[in-house]
Chains A and B, each alone.
Chain A
Amino acid sequence: MTTLLVEDKTIVVPGEELAEGMEYLPGSDVIRDGDKLISTKVGMVSIQNHLVKIIPLAGKYMPKKNDIVLGKVVSMGFSGWRVDIDWAFEANLALRDASSDFIEKTADLAQYYDYEDWIVCQITSVSASGKLIDLSMKGPGLRKLGPGRMIHVTPSKVPRIIGKLGSMISMIKEATGTKISVGQNGLVWISGEDPQKELLAVHAVKKIETESHISGLTDRIKAFLEGAAQ
């Protein structure tokens, strides 16, 4: 007999029993213990067909291949740059991945990316030990960032901040006239001419972060942005 012990979209904690029996399969952040499926994190249950997974509500960023992240250049060597992407280890940006231009080995690397520059980059590989992470700046939208504000959000909330096909983030950009770059690592860069509107964008992003698990989010954010415009 297979039974679900919780409803879809319930908030559960580590050790909480989600299902009994063998028909349901453990998805991410769910483990099987005997004939029970157990949550390993604090998060929202997501049941699709027979797959039970958890959408975590908290946690530090863990680098994944192909993720677009925001990072800060922390050092330069002969073969490239080291970038802090808010992970336990710095990531590598090699000369050959830094630009569509050919960069000579003797070139002044600071011309391209200098200390404390912030970049939007893509993770091209992560080693099994998690220590070696390679980045690339070659790709659409990958670039050095100009002056702006940087805020931190919980990485698991990033998909909601971006929205389906970028709809949520576009709504905020339009309503506030700001440029926004969102990294899968939870770093968000916001820049606008009007500091008041820029702050409104910051509040909107933070609001999504705290309310992402409550239904009707898109409408609430829309109302929030419209309300502030008055």
Chain B
Amino acid sequence: MDIIKQHVLTNLSKGMREDGRQFMEYRPILVEYGISPKSSEGSARVKIGGTEVVVGVKMEIMEPYSDKPDEGSLMINAELLPLSNPDFESGPPAIESIELARVVDRGLREGKAVDFKKLCIKVGEKMWVVVVDIYPLNDEGNLFDAASLGALAAIKDAKFPIIENDHIQYGKLSDKKLPVQHLPLECTVWKIGDSFIVDPGKTEEASGEARLTIAVLEDGTICALQKGGDKGLSFQDIEKMVEIAIEKTAELRGHL
């Protein structure tokens, strides 16, 4: 095991994290709305410590899916910009960016954040699609939680554009906000050695053995899960991590 990971484990066993935080403590969180008001229908910036993510919402009109003719839809994309981390490269999406997008998507979709029925324009013919694009700008760990918080914040910020003559008048927003009905948020809990922590920095992520991302609704119900990392988790581990996530997502929700 490399000396850095060894030392992280030793310090954790002495109750000490890299930057002196408590095991269950998040770095300072900042949520800013409307950072790209001229070109997006909704946007937000989230900072968790030095990690920074920007998210934008664009509204598009498409034909509804044949099995859900009276519903609209949601599309989540994430791009790990090479700008944000020396290890990210330009080119087709790496599996990490695909996982990030799908995990955020799972939380929002299964948590029914947006009322799809209210995105229907004309049954069987037209629906609104809420397209969410997530971009890390500076990666200092915990992109999952920052992205989840950012995506929900951008959706909350978004308004329907005006339709004139069957065309979307981009640049002209109505006063009507998107039909947000739930606030699912994700908290990723990491297991390093025998310790559980939230909001890891880069060195902690590199030393981590397993992680569990848990999406939780306002009433404490779980709506999505994703396990990552090379090691396994016991049932006890999972129960503990879920408890932590339920508590922490309630805190995170306070930042919206």
Contact = CB atoms under 8 A, between A and B. Distances in A.
A–B in direct contact per CB < 8 Å:
yes
Interface of A: 116-118, 145-150, 191, 195-196, 198-199
Which 9 pairs from chain A and chain B are nearest by CB? A195-B16, A116-B2, A147-B7, A147-B6, A147-B3, A195-B11, A199-B20, A195-B14, A148-B7
B30 interface: no
A195 B3 CA distance: 15
Contacts of A117: 2-3
Contacts of A118: 2-4
Contact of B3 (A146, A196, A198): A146
A195 B203 CA distance: 16
Interface size class of B (residues with CB under 8 A): 10 to 19
A118 B19 CA distance: 22
Interface of B: 2-4, 6-7, 10-11, 14-16, 18-20, 203
A191 B7 contact: yes
Given A116-B3, A191-B7, A195-B15, 4 more contacts: A147-B3, A147-B4, A147-B10, A195-B14
A149 B20 contact: no
B3 A148 contact: yes
12 contacts: A117-B3, A118-B3, A147-B3, A147-B4, A148-B3, A148-B4, A148-B7, A149-B7, A150-B4, A195-B15, A195-B16, A196-B16
A197 B7 CA distance: 14
- Which of B4, B18, B19, B203 has the most C-beta atoms of chain A within 10 angstroms of its own C-beta? B4
B20 A145 contact: no
B10 A199 contact: no
A199 B19 contact: yes
Nearest to A189: B3
Contacts of B203: 149
Contacts of B7: 147-149, 191
A122 B19 CA distance: 30
A88 to B, nearest CB: 12
Given A195-B11, A195-B14, A149 B4 contact: yes
Nearest to B1: A116
